[in-house]
Amino acid sequence: MNWSEITVHIPFFGESIFLTIDVFIAWILLIVLVIGAIVYAFRKRKFPVIRDYLYTTNHRKVGTLYMIFGFIFFLRAGLDALFIRLQLALPNNNFMDFQLEKYNETFTSHGTMMIFFAAMPMLIGLMNIAVPLQIGAKDLAFPFLNAVSLWLFVAGGVMFGSAYFLNSSPAIGWTGYAPYSTAVYTPGAATNFYVFGVQISGLGTIFAALNMIVTIVRHRAPGMKLIRMPLFPWASLVTSFLIVIAFTVLAIALYLLMFDRLFGTSFFGGEEGDPVYWQHLFWFFGHPEVYVLALPAFGLFSDIISSFSKKPIFGYPAMVISLALIGFLGFMVWAHHMFTVGLGPMVNTFFAVTTMTIAIPTGIKVFNWIFTMHGGSLKTTTPMLFAIGFIPSFVMGGVTGVMLAVSAADFQLHDTHFVVAHFHYVILASTILGIFAGLYYWYPKITGYQLNETLGKWHFWLFLIGYHMTFLPMHLTGMQGLPRRVYTYGSDEGMTALNFTSTIGASLMGVSIVILVWNIWQTNRQGILVGDDPWDGRTLEWSVASPSPEDTFTPMPFIECTDPFWDAKTKGQKLKTAPNPRPAPIDEHTVLPFLMALAVLVIGFGLIYQSYLTAGIGGVAIFALFIIRSFRDEHTSFHKEGARHE
């Protein structure tokens, strides 16, 4: 059957859209799902809850929404991954219509969504939930801005995700290399979806990072010096600085690309332009981005390993310094992605050596984790299993990174499945295992319930086995000459068995995700409350109620050491309290952030289809919302409804 010939035809924004059959099926599934969700919410009377979350600026609720939307995009991008693997399962395969352009669209959506709309948001969600609780802040410094960040991310993600449903998925790879991404080679809406989807959610990410920095600098509990802060907030702080620097560069690159595409400039193409400039800008963002994904996971694993080993972290100062060093060095290595574009021998060698140096602080962290466990009493709960699984997996990704830093070796390995294996090893081990660990660990703080441990262990083992089965063989297919971003290979290339193994591994990971979803569903249905401190934790978040209330830390604790809660517990005391703490930020009930993001979404769609009238309407709407906002003052409403907060 020839799938691509079955099409449905719909007019949209003056263009007509052909829906191939898979898109048509996706539409039907989407409609069924949305109707199902509405009916469910109606039956269970969930509308007040939905309204509450739509209006919320509370850090835990915003964080939860980050997690939920991030997880939805994770499922979508995961489906893309399965389609990629099904197409690559056998040589000369024709899985549905996932060849040629469709394949290109699929890996582009997969990569872009995983990085920008799944991994980062879920990490930011965990930061939102845990950082204020760990440092003794009542909320983030700017609760309103926090909600704006969230909805901007959702707007960007929904916009990017809708491209598929309008049959105009971008097909430029997640790296969007010029000149292929300029209007000369990819005219029309598809590539615009990439430009504006990433731009809009990126703006939200920058706001979130600024918010996090101010929160951590300004709103720690009295006595909690920076050197008494747990490592997850530390990692969040360093990460936020990386975001502020890296994402502004990405924003600039995307604006320039927007000008090239919409307004006829030629920064990255044509006679005057230079496509290599795009690569510099992109990777000056792109490499630190890897650490934006990894550092929060490092912090989180540090806390988890320390908790479940019943020991303080080994070498705390070294852990902090190495976080900062990794962040700093992360900005000096971007051209290792460009060894083959002819920057010259000196440049290549310089970047090869700087890249290698990152292995040193990373190694320090690995050994410190191992020696945190040394001499402890390890409780292999699900979060701890993820942490133990993380260490060898991550190191395997790290060592291939060092191999890739060898510039002349990279000439061979660059842009092959070896690289695909390398970055999945690194990102899945740190970010994805980290997100899972954090989810199991802090689930009691989010909902009051604890996820089922048996199902959790099934999830862990299936995922870990599937992960190694998927990506280990890719090192070899890469060295057998399989470039990345190709939809087929020959049966004579001797890589059939390896590719087939990969595909089986990917489906194991798929099964493990189903188990996770089932676990969440069951846990919430049974609704067994587990109390404030189910893991016998060490840090402040375990001293407040579960789920964390909107008004935490009254009275405000006074901190005298690292792991203050543990210290108090072992001495059989209560946490000391501070006599007169600083006034805390105030959360608000407002729908303005949601509406602002909606207006930005309208602007985005207007620009994507170059309907400047639509964009203008969105612009007016956002201006109006700013005006409304400037007439309001959360302090007034706080004093009126004082009872809710006190």
Partner 1 sequence: MKKLGIFPLLFLLAGCTNSTVLNPKSTTGKEQAFLIWFGLGIMLFVLVIVFFLLARVVINYREKKNGLEEYRPKFISPKKQRKLELIWTIGPIVLLIILAIPTVSTGLKQSPVAEAESTMDGVHIDVTAKQFEWTFIYETDKEKHNILLLPEGEPIILHLSSMDVIHSFWVPELAGKVDLVPGKPIVYRIENPEIGVYKGKCAEYCGVQHANMTFTVKVVAKEEFEEYIAK
- Judged by CB under 6 A, the residue of 250, 509, 520, 540 near ligand HEM is 509
Is residue 347 within 8 Å of 283, Cβ to Cβ? Answer: no
Q: Report the partner that residue 378 touches, choosing among Cu ion, partner 1, ligand HEM, none (CB closer than 5 to 8 A by kind).
A: partner 1
Please pick, from the candidates 98, 151, 174, 441, the single residue that binds ligand HEM as defined by CB under 6 A. Answer: 174
Of 6, 370, 620, 628, the residue at the interface with partner 1 (CB under 8 A) is 370
Q: How far is the CB of 143 from partner 1 (least distance, A)?
A: 39
**Contact of residue 520 among ligand HEM, Cu ion, partner 1, none (CB under 5-8 Å per partner type):** none
Among the listed residues 69, 72, 106, 73, the one whose alpha carbon sits nearest the alpha carbon of residue 88: 106
In the complex with ligand HEM, the residue whose CB is nearer, 114 or 229, is 114
How many residues belong to the chain?
646
Contact between 65 and ligand HEM (CB under 6 A)?
no
Please identify which residue in 173, 223, 315, 481 interacts with ligand HEM, judged by CB under 6 A: 173
> Which ranges in 480-611 belong to alpha helices (H)?
496-526, 564-570, 592-608
Shortest approach of Cu ion to residue 4 CB, angstroms? 21
Strands 15-20 and 7-12: antiparallel
Stretch that binds partner 1, among 16-24, 26-34, 401-409, 631-639 (CB under 8 A): 401-409
End-to-end C-alpha distance for the chain, whole angstroms: 66
Beta bridge partners of 577: 557
CA distances to 1, 148, 588 from 281, in Å: 44, 26, 38
Q: Which stretch binds ligand HEM (CB under 6 A): 296-304, 325-333, 420-428, 535-543?
A: 420-428
Type and span of the H or E element at 469? helix 453-479
Closest CB to ligand HEM among residues 313, 420? 420
Residue of the chain from 484, 576, 582, 589 that contacts ligand HEM (CB under 6 A): 484
Segment near partner 1 (CB under 8 A); pick from 5-13, 113-121, 179-187, 509-517? 179-187
How many residues sit in the footprint of Cu ion (CB under 5 A)?
A: 1
Tell me if 550 contacts partner 1 by CB under 8 A.
no
Closest CB 421 distance from Cu ion, rounded Å: 15
Burial of 613: CB neighbours in 10 Å, binned 0-12, 13-18, 19+: exposed
Contacting residue, 111, 473, 505, 581, with partner 1 by CB under 8 A: 473
User: 398 with 404: CB under 8 angstroms?
Assistant: no
Q: Say which residues have a Cβ less than 8 Å from residue 44's Cβ, sequence separation at least 6.
A: none
Among 6, 8, 33, 353, binds partner 1 (CB under 8 A): 353
Kindly state the DSSP code that residue 577 receives in the 8-state scheme: B
User: Contacting partner 1 (CB under 8 A), which of 457, 485, 576, 589?
Assistant: 485
| Cβ 177 vs Cβ 279: under 8 Å | yes
The interface partner of residue 366, options being ligand HEM, partner 1, Cu ion, none and the CB cut-off 5 to 8 Å by kind, is partner 1
The span of 10-18, 29-37, 170-178, 577-585 binding partner 1 (CB under 8 A) equals 170-178
470 touches ligand HEM by CB under 6 A: yes
The interface mask with Cu ion, positions 237-276, x = CB under 5 A, is ----------------------------------------
Q: Cα(131)–Cα(238) distance, rounded to whole angstroms?
A: 13
Dist CA 543 CA 553 (whole Å): 9
Residues 97-116 that bind ligand HEM (CB under 6 A): 107-108, 110-111, 114-115
- Nearest approach in angstroms of CB 168 to ligand HEM is 17
Alpha carbons 62 and 132: distance in angstroms, whole number = 12
- Interacting partner of 287 out of partner 1, ligand HEM, Cu ion, none (Cβ under 5 to 8 A depending on kind): Cu ion
CA–CA–CA angle 510, 512, 515 (5° rounding) = 115
Counting Cβ atoms within 10 Å, is residue 10 exposed (0-12), middle (13-18) or buried (19+)?
A: middle
d(CA 556, CA 553): 5
287 binds Cu ion (CB under 5 A): yes
CB 597 within 8 A of CB 152: yes
Q: Provide the 3-class DSSP secondary structure of residue 123.
A: helix
Q: Choose the stretch contacting partner 1; rule: CB under 8 A; options: 65-73, 144-152, 236-244, 304-312.
A: 304-312
For 371-388, letters b (16+ CB in 10 Å) and e give ebbeebeeeebbbbbbbb
State which residue has the least CB distance to ligand HEM: 111
Q: Rule CB under 8 A: is residue 188 a binding residue for partner 1?
A: no
Count how many Cα atoms sit within 13 Å of the Cα of residue 315 in the half-sphere of its side chain. Answer: 17
Kindly list the residues in this chain that would bind ligand HEM in the complex (CB under 6 A).
Answer: 78, 81, 84-85, 107-108, 110-111, 114-115, 119, 173-175, 420, 424, 427-428, 431-432, 470, 484-485, 506, 509
Kindly list the residues in this chain that would bind Cu ion in the complex (CB under 5 A).
Answer: 287
